[in-house]
Structure 1
Amino acid sequence: MGDPKCTRPRCLATLIVVAVTSVFLCYYFLKVDLVSVMSEKVTNFDRSKYLIPKDAYDERVSIAVNTAPKFTYVAPNYTYVAPNYTYVAPENLTETLKRIASMHKVPSVNCHALFKDSQRDIEYARNKTKNITSPISDLAYLSLTADCRAFVTSRGYILSPLTKEEEDFPLAFSILTFKDVEMVERLLKAIYRPQNYYCIHVDKKSPDSFYQSVASIAKCFPNVFIASRRIDVQWGWFSVLEPELECMKELWRYPKWKYFFTLTGQEFPLKTNFELVKILTVYDGANDIEGTIKRANKERFRTAPPLGITPIKGSVHITVNRDFVGYILFNKTAEALLEWAKNNVSIPDETYFATLNHNPQLGVRGAYKGVPETDEDGKPFLTRFKNWGSYKCSGGQYVRSICILTLGDLPLLGKVKHYFANKFYLSEDRVVIGCLEEKIFNDTRDEYLGVKTFDTSYYANLSFVKNKV
C-alpha cells in the first residue's frame, strides 16, 4: 500500500472534486425544489382538493402542457398561490341550500313585501337602509380570505353545479371593476358555480389595496382569475372595450363554456344560474345584443366601416355564444372592423359588438337577420336592465342618465325579463342588494327542491331567437 499521508497535490485534487460535487448537488436539489414549489403554486391543481367537475380540471392541466393559443398571453403580474384548503361536496345539498338561503335573509326587512310593492314596508325599510348590514371594508377581505375554506363557507357560496343541466352548460363571465370590493364579491357569490369561469378585470387606476383584495378573493377559487393585463378604463374611449377583449382571450383557454356575459362591478343578477341556463338553452346560439340604426349617433362614425359593413349602435353589455367570441378573436373581418372602431369611432364599445351581430352577411353564429332595431316589444334587449327614464326612478339619482336603483325599485326588478340589472351603489342603499340576494338564493333553493319552475316560452319566441344566423 502507498503512503497514506495527504500530499499537497492529492489534497488539492480531493478538495476540488468535493467542491464541484457539492455545487452540483446543491444546484440539482434547489432546482428540483423550485420546480416543485412553482408547479404547486401555479399549475398543479389537485382535483381532489376542489369541488369542480373533472373535465374542468382536465382543461386547466391540458392548457398548462399543450401548445400556447394563437393569441399572445401575458402572465399575471401577481403571485398566485395555490389554495391550501379542501372543498368537500356537501352530503346533503338540500340542507346546505336551506342553510345558505337562511344566511341571506335580510334582518328587520320583509323583502317579499318590498317586491310586492307594499308602501308601508318600503317606507319602513328606507328608514333602516343604512343599518341593515355592516359594510365590509376593502382591506377586510385580506383577512377574510386568509382561510379560503372558512371564507366560502361563512359567505355562503354554492360549491355544487346543483343540476346535471347546469353542469353540462357552463357559462363564462367578464367582470369589470374599479371600486367597492364588497359589491364585487356579492355579485360573484350570486353567480358563482364551480363549472363556470370568471375573469375579473381591475382598472389600472384603482388603488393597490382594491386590487390586492379582489385578487385575494379570486385565489380562493380555481375557476376565478384576475385579467393578466390591467387597463386604465376611460369612459367613451377604446379602453372600455379593451378589457372585454382581454377577458375573451383568457376565457377562450377553457373550451367547455357555452355562453359569455359581460358584467361590471355595479350590477346584480335578476335570474338564477339555473334560469340563465334554461334561457340560453332555448336560445340555441342566438345572441342578445342591443342594436339600432335609427337612433344611432351618426356623428360618431368618422368614416364608413370596411367591407361594406353597416355600422350599428348598441351596448358593451352582451350575451353571446362561444362562436361569437371565437369570431372576434380569430376572424380577419372582425380584426379589420375592430381597427376601424378603434380609430374612427367615438365610443367604440357601443358600436363593435352591435355591428358584428347585426350584419348577418358576415356569417357570425347567432347574429340577427331581421331589422336591427331594439325595442321592448319586437326585439327586446334583455342582457341588461337599465332605467333611462322610461320608469320612475325611486331614488331620484341618475349617473350618465341611468337611474341608480334602490329598494323602491324592487317591485319593478321582480317583474322584468332581463338577466342582470344596472346600476347599484351599495354605499347608498344596502337593502336593494340584500333583497335581490335573498331572492336569488331562495329561488335557487326552491328550484333544487322542485317547488319553483321556470317557463321559457317567452324567451323561445323572441324575434332574435327565431330569426338568427
Structure 2
Amino acid sequence: MKTTAEHRRATSDCGRYLQNGGFKLSSVSEEELSFPLAFSLLVYRDADQVERLLRAIYRPHNVYCIHVDRKSDLKYRTSIERIASCLQNVFVCPVSVNVVWATFTNLEPEILCMRHLWRQKVKWRYFINLTGQEFPLKTNKELVRILKAFHGANDVGGIRNEARMRFRWERFLPAPYNLTIYKGSVHVAVSREFVDYAINTRVGKTLFEWERPVKHPDESYFNTLNNNPQLGVPGSATVNHTANQDPPIFARLKVWDGAKEKYGGCHGKIVRGICHFGVGDLPLLTKSPQLFANKFSYDYQPLSYDCLEEWYFHKVELEDAGNPPPLNVSRYEQAPFVKYRYTGPVKIQQ
C-alpha cells in the first residue's frame, strides 16, 4: 500500500505517472466519445483502492468528482488530490462534508458532486454515483451500450413500505408537494435530465431541504423524485411499487445478509448486513448483469479484487482488439423501468 510520500513521488511527473499508471488515455470508440459519462466517488480510506477504481473507470472524455470525507486525515486527502491533479477531467470536490451514517451528510456530498459535474463543459449523458469500495463489472464501452438501451430511463429503486420504513420520515410529513416518499438504494444511474431536475428545479431543491432531518435521506431523495409520476421527471417510473414489488435495478450488485440465498450465498464475509466479496464470489461477479459491485474490503481476501481487476482489463483488451465479449443488451431494454419510463413533458418544475 502506497504511502503519501510514494503517491507524491509517483505523481510528481504526471506524464510518467499516466504512462506507467495504466490509465486508458486513447483507443476510445466513437460510440463512447459521443456518450460521455459523469461519476461521483465518495471516499474516505484506502487511497490505493480508490486509485485502482479510478484507473478502471477512467476515460479522458468522461468527468469525475471525488468527495473526500472531512474526517479523513490530511495525508489521505493529499494522496487523492495528487492523483486527481494528473487527470484534467478528475476533480476533488471543493467542499468536504463530515459524513455521518444515516444523516443528511450521506446525501449532501452526492448533490455537491452533481452540481460540480453539472458546471463542467462536457455534456455528459448519464450520472453514476460510486464509493471507494466498489469495482466495475462492465467496461466503459459496455456501460455506454447499456445506458443507451435505457433510452433516457433512470435506474433508481423505490418501494413504498409504510409499516417498516415510515418511522424515518413520519413526523416530518407532509412532504413537499404532497409527495409519496419512496425508499430505495442510494446507488443510481440517472440521465442528465434527471440531474437537471434534481439540482435546478424548485421541486428538487425543496425536497432536498426537507430531507435534512429525515433518517437515511440518501435512500429516499432520488427514489422519491423518480417514483412520483405526477412530477413528470424525465425518464422516471410510471408504475408504482409496493413493498412486495421491488423493481429490478442494474446500478449495483449488493448481496444483503437477508437475501444472500438469492445469489447462492456470500462467500466472503457479512459486515453490517452486507457481503464483502471474497474469492468464492468471483463466478457471481463475472456473470452478473449489474454495472458495479459493492463492496470490497481492501484488507480482506485481496486476491478476489486482483482477479476481478484482471478479468475486467482483459475485457478491455478484447474490445481494443476488436473482439469484445458478448453483451445481451435486450435484457436491459426489457427492464420494467425502461419499458414504462415517463417520456412526456415535465409537469411540475417551478
Task: Give the match for residue 58 of structure 1.
Answer: none
Deviation at residue 458 of structure 1 after TM alignment:
0.5
1:468 to 334, 338, 341: 341
Deviation at residue 374 of structure 1 after TM alignment:
8.2
- 1:366 maps onto 2:232 in alignment: no
- 1:239 maps onto 2:105 in alignment: yes
- 1:214 maps onto 2:84 in alignment: no
Matches within 5 A, 1:137-152: 137-152=3-18
1:407 to 279, 284, 308: 279
Task: Give the match for residue 299 of structure 1.
Answer: 167
Query: Could you tell me which amino acid in structure 2 is paired with residue 468 of structure 1?
Result: R
Q: Which whole-Å CA distance do the structure 2 matches of 1:381 and 1:468 have between them?
A: 13
Instruction: Answer yes or no: is the 8 Å Cα contact 1:159–1:193 preserved in 2.
Output: yes
Q: Which whole-Å CA distance do the structure 2 matches of 1:304 and 1:429 have between them?
A: 47
Task: Give the match for residue 353 of structure 1.
Answer: 222
- 1:454 maps onto 2:321 in alignment: no
> Please, which runs of 5 or more residues in structure 1 have no aligned partner?
1-134
Q: Which whole-Å CA distance do the structure 2 matches of 1:274 and 1:411 have between them?
A: 22
Secondary structure, aligned partner of 1:356: helix
How much identity, in percent, do the aligned residues show? 44
Deviation at residue 241 of structure 1 after TM alignment:
0.4
> Please, which runs of 5 or more residues in structure 2 have no aligned partner?
343-350
Q: Deviations over 1:354-385 (max 9, x none)?
A: 00000121111010101225889x73121111
Q: Which whole-Å CA distance do the structure 2 matches of 1:206 and 1:438 have between them?
A: 29
**TM-score, length-scaled by structure 2:** 0.91
Cα gap change, 1:374 to 1:288, in 2 (>3 Å): farther
2:157 to 275, 290, 294: 290
Task: Give the match for residue 194 of structure 2.
Answer: 324
**TM-score, length-scaled by structure 1:** 0.69
Q: Which whole-Å CA distance do the structure 2 matches of 1:177 and 1:154 have between them?
A: 24
Deviation at residue 433 of structure 1 after TM alignment:
1.3
Q: Work out the number of aligned pairs and report it.
A: 332
Task: Give the match for residue 387 of structure 1.
Answer: 255
Deviation at residue 146 of structure 1 after TM alignment:
1.0
2:316 to 427, 436, 444: 444
Deviation at residue 429 of structure 1 after TM alignment:
2.1
Task: Give the match for residue 259 of structure 1.
Answer: 126
1:334 to 186, 199, 204: 204
Q: Which whole-Å CA distance do the structure 2 matches of 1:388 and 1:415 have between them?
A: 18
Which of the two has higher C-alpha Rg?
1
Q: Which whole-Å CA distance do the structure 2 matches of 1:149 and 1:435 have between them?
A: 28
- 1:268 maps onto 2:125 in alignment: no
Secondary structure, aligned partner of 1:414: helix
RMSD (Å) for aligned C-alpha atoms: 1.6
Cα gap change, 1:272 to 1:374, in 2 (>3 Å): farther
Q: Deviations over 1:316-336 (max 9, x none)?
A: 211100011111111111112
- 1:417 maps onto 2:284 in alignment: no
2:178 to 308, 311, 315: 308
Query: Could you tell me which amino acid in structure 2 is paired with residue 461 of structure 1?
Result: Q
Instruction: Answer yes or no: is the 8 Å Cα contact 1:328–1:335 preserved in 2.
Output: yes
- 1:167 maps onto 2:6 in alignment: no
Q: Deviations over 1:120-158 (max 9, x none)?
A: xxxxxxxxxxxxxxx333442111111112212222111
Secondary structure, aligned partner of 2:135: strand
